[in-house]
């Protein structure tokens, strides 16, 4: 397995597997299958895994902890804090909370559920506008000194927040959306990360499935499928955005690669300190995505993508969610 270095010397597998989609309900009916998939990923060389206390809430971390029991020295676990969760009902109110007391409560819960003494990478899940970033970074700095956290991360933070946090406790990685159809980080975020020596862990590198080529304008999305609420997945937007999939499919044919592999290979080609974070519930998709590490796009391929200058239609989130992004 190829390795890459994020910030602060954190070395991980070149691709990371996210567990967010595992267990769609609090009961996690597919628990055994998803635990098996996580363990198979380790067998295939993946050592970097992503979860969060709010996934479930809590049940996802419990499942990840069970999956890696006896394998802790072979994996690096990232989890996240920063949301209000009712400690009695286990229901997330959907509002951010990065108060120092909340962070300390969150890490103790995460450690217990994950069955570990430390978290390799601890992300603030979303910036809390009511808590100074310096205070957040200060608490994580203390947790690092206590050995409960090894590295500090941010998620969907803007450049100013990144700089403020980094000035108190060096940030190892930023997790934000980035892909062939979500390229906004190139304007300010990626230059900031490069300047400060911070790694980048892009989520949704396959455009929530669209860049796999298995979704088109005629695909019927279920009412409980979150994508049905996303403007970019409206039928007319999907029809317009099909041009991007057609392009990467054409490039993939030259390399004997699938559209998904080309989409991942494109991200890997951008910077050596970028580690795409993908999610899948199927072993065949896991092996397909890992196959992207064997695809090397040429300078001609990369130039062709840029020259196409395909404009992506539709916002990546509904308006109410976008208000929490990039603070």
* Active-site residue set: 55
Q: Treating both helix axes as pointing N-terminal to C-terminal, what angle do 59-67 and 31-43 enclose, rounded to 10 degrees?
A: 50
Give me the residue label for tokens 């108190």: 168
How many other CB atoms are found less than 10 A from the CB of residue 82? 24
Q: What are the structural domains, with CATH classification, of the chain?
A: 3-213+273-295 (3.20.20.100)
How is residue 85 written in tokens?
């969760």
Q: What is the DSSP letter of 177?
A: B
How far is the C-alpha of 293 from the C-alpha of 285, rounded, in Å? 14
Q: Write down the pLDDT at residue 138.
A: 98
Q: Which burial class, exposed, middle or buried, applies to 311 when counting CB atoms under 10 A from its CB (0-12, 13-18, 19+)? A: exposed
Give me the residue label for tokens 């992004």: 325
Q: Write down the pLDDT at residue 326.
A: 66
Asked whether the beta carbons of 176 and 189 are under 8 A apart, the reply is yes
Q: Write down the pLDDT at residue 25.
A: 47
Q: Write down the pLDDT at residue 174.
A: 98
How far is the C-alpha of 242 from the C-alpha of 287, rounded, in Å? 25
pLDDT by residue, tens only, the chain of 327 residues: 999 999 999 999 999 999 987 754 455 678 899 999 999 999 999 999 999 999 988 999 999 999 999 999 999 999 999 999 987 777 777 799 999 999 999 999 999 999 999 999 999 999 999 999 999 999 999 999 999 999 999 999 999 999 999 999 999 999 999 999 999 999 999 999 999 999 999 999 999 999 999 999 999 999 888 899 999 999 999 999 999 999 999 999 999 999 999 999 999 999 999 999 999 999 999 999 999 999 999 999 999 999 999 999 999 988 877 666 667
Give me the residue label for tokens 């069955």: 115
How far is the C-alpha of 280 from the C-alpha of 233, rounded, in Å? 19
């Amino acid at each position: 397995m190829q390795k890459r270095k994020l910030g602060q010397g954190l070395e991980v597998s070149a691709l990371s597997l996210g567990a967010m989609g595992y267990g769609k309900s609090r009961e996690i009916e597919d628990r055994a299958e998803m635990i098996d998939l996580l363990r198979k990923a380790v067998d295939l060389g993946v050592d970097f895994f992503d979860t969060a206390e709010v996934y479930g809430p809590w049940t996802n971390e419990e499942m990840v902890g069970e999956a890696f029991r006896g394998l802790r020295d072979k994996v690096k676990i990232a989890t996240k804090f920063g949301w209000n969760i009712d400690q009695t009902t286990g229901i997330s109110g959907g509002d951010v909370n990065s108060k120092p007391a909340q962070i300390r409560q969150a890490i103790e819960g995460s450690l217990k559920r994950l069955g570990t003494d430390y978290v390799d990478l601890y992300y603030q899940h979303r910036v809390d506008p009511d808590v100074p970033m310096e205070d957040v970074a200060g608490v994580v700095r203390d947790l690092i000194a206590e050995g409960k956290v090894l590295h500090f991360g941010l998620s969907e933070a803007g450049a100013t927040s990144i700089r403020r946090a980094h000035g108190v406790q060096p940030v190892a990685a930023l997790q934000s959306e980035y892909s062939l159809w979500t390229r906004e980080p190139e304007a300010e975020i990626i230059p900031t990360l490069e300047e400060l020596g911070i790694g980048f862990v892009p989520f949704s590198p396959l455009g929530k499935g669209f860049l796999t080529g298995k979704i088109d304008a005629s695909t019927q999305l279920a009412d409980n499928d979150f994508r049905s609420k996303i403007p970019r997945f409206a039928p007319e937007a999907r029809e317009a955005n099909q041009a991007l999939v057609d392009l990467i499919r054409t490039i993939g044919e030259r390399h004997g690669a699938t559209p998904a592999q080309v989409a991942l290979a494109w991200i890997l080609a951008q910077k050596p300190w970028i580690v795409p974070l993908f999610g899948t519930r199927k072993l065949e998709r896991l092996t397909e995505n890992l196959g992207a590490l064997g695809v090397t796009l040429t300078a001609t391929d990369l130039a062709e993508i840029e020259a196409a200058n395909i404009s992506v239609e539709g916002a990546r989130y509904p308006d109410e969610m976008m208000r929490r992004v990039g603070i």
